[in-house]
């Protein structure tokens, strides 16, 4: 935290002294929401919900982010590591199927310490690490033995797309190595019986963007050819246009059914069997939770 290099932005700022890098956060933990969440993949949400903890700030900063309020650090409450431990245990008491850490990259040292303490105090739930994948392998290794399920994105294969929409031409280079590290740590998927809840494993998410069919196919092909049945692939159609996309008119619409169907059909033709798809009208603001510090 004194010379922050937790993510590939490598800002080298002194967050302990209140300086802020790309993620917009100091060394103090800031959490925007901690509650049961029903809108993850079925093997994570189950019947009760995933115990999601949304951290403020983001090291990637996509222009189309649906969680802009917290990604930009405009929402959230400062808490201690001790309070984070309590939150984990409170979510367990509420019946959460897992503890789901959403965008925690820039707080990994504090989160790792909180997980160690919580496990000593009786936390028994699987821990999910929910990330953009713009990660250093060295940072992920701080979580080895503490995280059971990795839920990474693989947003782009094309560096021109990642530069335009996430200001990170090197995204795929880092994300592909990060996902390989995640698979190394937790291995092939393991589910509970008969509930079908994931206990260990990796689910890689890919959000299909309007006009992004070619790159989406490249992402899915890479994942399947690299990992086959070692991972699950979650193909998402929930892209929701947000305010501030005037400079990106090509993104100022939702995905069409035909666009999404072509991607799903392509995955099936490749041989993808372990995956999730979305049906219905998922591109609605109602799927975005309120970041009102609930549970914090």
Q: 191 CB contacts (<8 Å, ≥6 apart)?
A: 43, 197, 198, 199
**Cα–Cα distance list, 129 to 93, 179, 201, 287 (Å):** 20, 12, 11, 20
Fold that domain 27-287 belongs to in CATH: TIM Barrel (3.20.20)
Q: Would you give the end-to-end CA distance of the chain in angstroms? A: 23
With contact defined as beta carbons under 8 Å apart, do 149 and 198 qualify?
A: yes
Other beta carbons within 10 Å of 253:
13
Does the structure show a pLDDT above 80 at 3?
yes
As given in the structure block, the two tokens for residue 289 are 């939770």
What whole-number distance in Å separates Cα of residue 89 and Cα of residue 82? 11
For the purposes of burial, counting CB atoms within 10 Å of the CB of 266, is it exposed (0-12), middle (13-18) or buried (19 or more)? middle
With contact defined as beta carbons under 8 Å apart, do 68 and 290 qualify?
A: no
pLDDT score recorded for residue 73 = 65
Question: pLDDT tens across 51-78, in order?
Answer: 999 999 999 999 999 877 676 667 789 9
Question: pLDDT tens across 159-215, in order?
Answer: 999 999 999 999 999 999 999 999 999 999 999 999 999 999 999 999 999 999 999
Does the structure show a pLDDT above 60 at 283?
no
Beta strand 29-37 with 77-79: parallel, antiparallel or unpaired?
antiparallel
pTM: predicted TM-score of the whole model, two decimal places: 0.95
Closest CA to 148 of 131, 119, 127: 127
Helix (H) or strand (E) holding 137: helix 137-140
- Cα of 291 vs its chain's centroid, Å: 16
At 20, is the pLDDT very low, low, confident or very high (cuts 50, 70, 90)? very high
pLDDT score recorded for residue 201 = 98
What whole-number distance in Å separates Cα of residue 74 and Cα of residue 124? 32
DSSP-based helix, strand, coil % in the chain, nearest 5:
35, 20, 45
Backbone region of residue 8 per phi and psi (left: phi > 0; alpha: psi in -120 to 50; beta: other values) = alpha
**What average pLDDT is seen over the chain?**
94
* Mean pLDDT for the stretch of residues 207-232: 97
Closest CA to 102 of 63, 152, 169, 62: 152
């Amino acid at each position: 935290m004194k010379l922050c290099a937790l993510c590939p932005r490598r800002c080298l700022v002194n967050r302990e002294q209140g300086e802020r890098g790309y993620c917009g956060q100091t060394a103090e933990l800031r959490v925007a929401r901690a509650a049961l969440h029903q809108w993850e993949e079925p093997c994570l949400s189950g019947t009760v919900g995933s115990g999601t903890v949304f951290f403020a700030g983001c090291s990637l900063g996509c222009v189309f982010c649906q969680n802009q309020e917290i990604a930009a650090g405009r929402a959230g409450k400062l808490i201690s590591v001790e309070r984070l431990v309590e939150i984990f245990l409170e979510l367990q008491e509420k019946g959460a199927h897992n503890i789901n850490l959403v965008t925690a990259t820039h707080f990994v040292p504090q989160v790792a310490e909180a997980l160690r303490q919580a496990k000593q105090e009786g936390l028994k739930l699987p821990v999910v690490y929910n990330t953009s994948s713009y990660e250093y392998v060295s940072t992920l290794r701080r979580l080895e033995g503490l995280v059971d399920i990795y839920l990474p994105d693989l947003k782009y294969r094309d560096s021109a797309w990642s530069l335009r929409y996430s200001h990170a031409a090197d995204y795929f280079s880092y994300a592909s190595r990060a996902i390989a590290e995640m698979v190394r740590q937790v291995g092939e998927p393991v589910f509970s019986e008969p509930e079908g809840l994931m206990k260990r494993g990796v689910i890689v998410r890919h959000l299909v963007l309007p006009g992004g069919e070619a790159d989406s196919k490249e992402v899915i092909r890479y994942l399947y050819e690299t990992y086959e049945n070692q991972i699950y692939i979650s193909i998402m159609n929930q892209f929701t246009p947000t305010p501030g996309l005037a400079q990106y008119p090509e993104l100022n619409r939702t995905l069409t059914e035909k666009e999404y169907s072509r991607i799903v059909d392509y995955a099936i033709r490749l041989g993808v069997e372990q995956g999730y798809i979305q049906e219905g009208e998922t591109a609605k603001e109602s799927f975005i939770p309120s970041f009102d510090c609930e549970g914090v």
